[in-house]
Amino acid sequence: MKVHYIEKVWIVAAVLLILTLIGTVTYGALGPGVSMLDNEGGIVPDPGNPVESSSFKEPGVYKTGPNTYDVYVLARQFVYRPRKITIPVDSTITFYLTSPDVIHGFEVVGTNVNTMAIPGRIGKFTVNFDQVEEYGLLCHEYCGVGHHLMEGQIEVVPQSQFDATEEST
């Protein structure tokens, strides 16, 4: 069988196009290190009342080791508690996130931290912030009339500054 030269060119072009598409999808899924949260965080002991569930009673930053911190965040209509999260740079931060009402978004603007706060479930994820920076925190899931007002802040500060504010509080 004789395949015409022009036809061969188009066969090669079509195969390259398919491989390029598979390549971009694969890169998009794996390349930037983006992953879904798994079930590791578990469920809220009393889903109807996560505020009273021990770990979310006092949302905030808790030191768990020399360079590691747990941060409990409650996303609710239409605020984050705490509204402003201050953490030291170059530390390992494990977030625990939930919502007492509806689904909220949790996006740290300018980073690849982007997840949801789901009622009854605890989203657990670990982040390293390696530069001193102030990040905005945005709700990107429509959660009610105040959705557009729902925002927070993550302030990554030098260790010395963090220690100083810890001592004063």
Based on CB atoms, which residue is closest to ligand CUA, 64 or 114? 114
In this structure, the strands spanning 91-98 and 68-76 are parallel
Could you list the residues that contact ligand CUA (CB under 6 A)?
A: 78, 104-105, 139, 141-143, 147, 150
Nearer to ligand CUA, 138 or 157 (CB): 138
- Taking alpha carbons only, the member of 99, 78, 81 closest to residue 146 is 78
8-12-17 Cα angle (round to 5): 145
The least distance separating ligand CUA from the CB of residue 86, rounded to whole angstroms, comes to 21
Find the shortest distance in angstroms from Cβ 113 to ligand CUA.
16
Nearest to 152 by CA among 37, 41, 74, 63: 74
With 0-12 / 13-18 / 19 or more C-beta atoms within 10 angstroms meaning exposed / middle / buried, residue 151 is middle
Q: Which helix (H) or strand (E) holds 152?
A: strand 151-157
Q: Which is nearer to ligand CUA, 153 or 161 (CB)?
A: 153
Residue 85 DSSP symbol: E
- Closer residue to ligand CUA, CB minimum distance, 82 or 88: 82
CB of 121 to ligand CUA, least distance (A): 16
CB of 51 to ligand CUA, least distance (A): 16
| Cβ-based nearer residue to ligand CUA, 150 or 157 | 150
Strands, sheet with 133-138, edge to edge from the N-terminal-most edge strand: 84-88, 151-157, 133-138, 104-108, 114-117
Residue 56 Cβ vs ligand CUA, minimum distance, rounded to whole Å: 16
